[in-house]
Amino acid sequence: MKRAILFLVVFILAGCRTQQQTTPVPKATATSASLSTSVSHPTTTSQPTPIPTTIEATAGGIITPEPTPTTAVCTPLPADMSLNILYDSDRHGVIEVEGLEPGERPTLLLTGQGEVTSDWWRKETQYENAVGADGRMQYRFDFRGWDSVEGVEFKGQLIHQRGVACFSIDLPLATTTAVPNQTPSQSTQAEDVIAHLETLQTKYEQMLNDHEGWLYAHYTDYFPTALRGSETAVNFLWLADTWVWEYWYEVSQGVVIRKIIHVSDENGGIWQRQLIDDGWTAWVLPVETLGERVQRLDNSTPNANTLWGPYRLIQQLQDTTKPDVTAWEADDLYHVTLYDSYEPPIEIVGFEEPVAASRVHFVFDNKRGVVVQQSTESLLAGGEWMQTQEVNLTQFDLLAQLPDNAARTLEEGTALIDAYR
């Protein structure tokens, strides 16, 4: 399986891309996510360095800060990690974690949801100092300034290098509590993983059966500009690491008739509006591309069953001799991780060091068979794991008709193609 995983990046999404866009594209939200898994060199310390920010709320009740983008798919707390909520007082305590990877900078997300829908509170912070050699961190929270915590449900997510630990904080606190380790049953046999993925593929295809209309996919895609190739149809992709993609596929009898693509930045500004129809593609935006605005394509129309299900992952596992695969189920999700090592480490454009190994992690919705997250990491020769890509599906719907913004792209793109022919 040498080098297979590293160049497998976004193969599930390969059927979604245009012919001209030859590089994989980009980060996350949870069913989108925004994992910060890039690790810096570890520092040695005998005591855990606390995250300096203390969680506090203003007197008078629940506050609503600026919304932050990070949410993530929960994974079981590894057996060699512990997460304890230490009691100081009924509204005041410390979140203590042991078993983290030295050098990592985890992200902590806490939310409070009241009985009234509009009452919510959210706090997100990233560990400012790299975790020390002891693998410990502490975070102090304080809700003593609140008028009341009655009826407020507090939840937390610790986004660390090996996953996302989800937990609750039951206020008022009465004692120290521990988040239980939930080591799932794992499978490392490719045939067992393939069998489960084939079941998911059947669910996915059944969902699409007899659907005549539009399939809508919205995802956030992170891919560092330093690693992006030089042959893309548009040049704005070099301006940021993260882009938001929307696809509308017109589907009939399981075949994609045409598709509409919108690409936006994280602030909602649209940079690309594109139509692909009957072997032609037209860029409504941007007006200036690296080629003609209207081009003839030589790729075939994809089958809808190959787009967002596990079809391509099944093929990859079937075509690979003795793949290094691990899979498990948790919270109605199915996780699959592929690992590969390179001896000697390989040189890749955009990487400051040779790459010694890589791993790709997929998360599937166990109910519909849809892939909701895909992330790729590379192990540098110096020992750091570097996140090289993360794709998170945030919405996946079957539509009877197009929304106005997509319908406008369809109309304007069709006019461009008709004028060119």
CA distance 387 to 377: 4
Q: Are residues 397 and 416 in the same domain?
A: yes
> Where among 179, 196, 230 does a domain terminate?
179
Q: Tell me the pairing of strands 55-56 and 137-142.
A: parallel
User: Is 72 a domain residue?
Assistant: no
| Residue 332, domain member (yes or no) | yes
- From the number of C-beta atoms within 10 Å of its C-beta (0-12, 13-18, 19+), residue 46 rates as exposed
Q: Of 133, 163, 179, which residue sits at a domain end?
A: 179
Rounded to whole angstroms, the Cα distance separating 273 from 57 reads 42
Identify whether residues 307 and 281 lie together within a single domain: yes
Number of domains in the chain: 2
Residues 118, 242 share a domain: no
Which of 179, 200, 231 is the endpoint of a domain? 179
For residues 251 and 340, state if they share a domain: yes
Residues 6+ apart with CB under 8 A from 191: none
Residue 383: how many other CB atoms lie within 10 Å? 12
* 282 and 358 co-located in one domain: yes
Which of 30, 168, 50 lies closest to 112, judged by CA? 168
What was the pLDDT predicted at 121?
72
Does residue 275 belong to any structural domain of this protein?
Answer: yes
Range of the domain at 119: 77-179
Q: Is residue 66 part of a domain?
A: no
Residue 63 lies in a domain: no
In a domain, 57, yes or no: no
What is the C-alpha to C-alpha distance for residues 374 and 320, in angstroms, rounded to an integer? 19
Instruction: List per-residue pLDDT tens for the chain, 421 residues long.
Output: 544 444 444 444 444 444 333 333 232 222 222 222 222 222 222 333 333 333 333 333 333 333 334 445 677 788 889 999 988 888 888 999 999 988 888 888 888 876 544 456 777 777 777 888 899 999 888 888 777 777 788 888 888 888 888 888 888 887 777 877 665 678 889 999 999 999 999 999 998 887 899 999 999 999 998 887 655 556 788 889 999 999 999 998 888 999 999 999 999 999 999 999 988 999 999 877 666 889 998 766 678 888 899 999 999 999 988 889 999 988 789 999 999 999 999 999 889 899 999 999 999 999 999 999 999 999 999 888 888 999 999 999 999 999 999 999 999 999 999 998 8
* 370 shares a domain with 391: yes
Same domain for 103 and 18, yes or no, is no
Question: C-alpha 274: how far from its chain's center?
Answer: 24
Instruction: Kindly state whether residues 170 and 205 are assigned to the same domain.
Output: no
Q: Is residue 203 domain-shared with residue 164, that is, in the same domain?
A: no
CB 409 within 8 A of CB 275: yes
CATH number of the domain bearing residue 134: 2.60.40.10
For 65, phi then psi, to 5°, come to -80, 180
The verdict on 215 and 364 lying in the same domain is yes
Same domain, 115 and 189: no
Same domain, 206 and 275: yes
Q: Round the CA-based radius of gyration of the chain to a whole number and report it.
A: 23
Residue 50 within any structural domain of the chain: no
Kindly state whether residue 85 falls inside one of the protein's structural domains.
Answer: yes
